[in-house]
Amino acid sequence: MTPLLVARRTFPRIGRRPMECIQCNRPFLAEDRVASISGSIMGDECTESYYFCDRCGVYTVEVCWDLFLGEESVSINGPIPRSEGEAAVELIRQCSTPWDKKCRCSAHVAYFKGSALD
């Protein structure tokens, strides 16, 4: 099995461009963001948002880190194959409060793969 190659762009949160598909650069609309989940990991907040491009059929994931003792950062990951993205979105939707970084439901624990959630 060949490893999945994922492009990554990292830049400061302030003054950044609107979200775009990592594969075709189409600007995303509000409805293209299909799921988001937050977790608090060792004092830092991580929020991952999934965007689906119906043109390419792939997901782009925005990963925002709000560091307790540092700068915020954002990285953009993808393209994520549709099947992998749909599995993550389905898992996120199992939580009734995915925006709650302190939630410890089974979906949060599974999504963050047992990371040191606070």
pLDDT per residue over 25-35, tens digit each?
Answer: 999 999 999 99
Q: Residue 102: left if φ>0, alpha if ψ -120 to 50, beta else—which one?
A: alpha
pLDDT band, residue 12 (cuts 50/70/90): very low
- What's the confidence (pLDDT) of residue 118? 67
Q: What is the pLDDT of residue 15?
A: 55
Cα dist. 92→10, 98, 102, 105, 112 in Å? 24, 7, 14, 11, 10
- What's residue 2's pLDDT? 38
Question: What's residue 50's pLDDT?
Answer: 98
**51 in Cβ contact with 62 (< 8 Å):** yes
Note the pLDDT of residue 11: 47
Range 5-32 average pLDDT: 73
> For the residues 50-78, what does the mean pLDDT come to?
92
Would you state the structure tokens that stand for residue 107, as one six-digit string? 């979906």
User: At 112, which amino acid appears?
Assistant: F
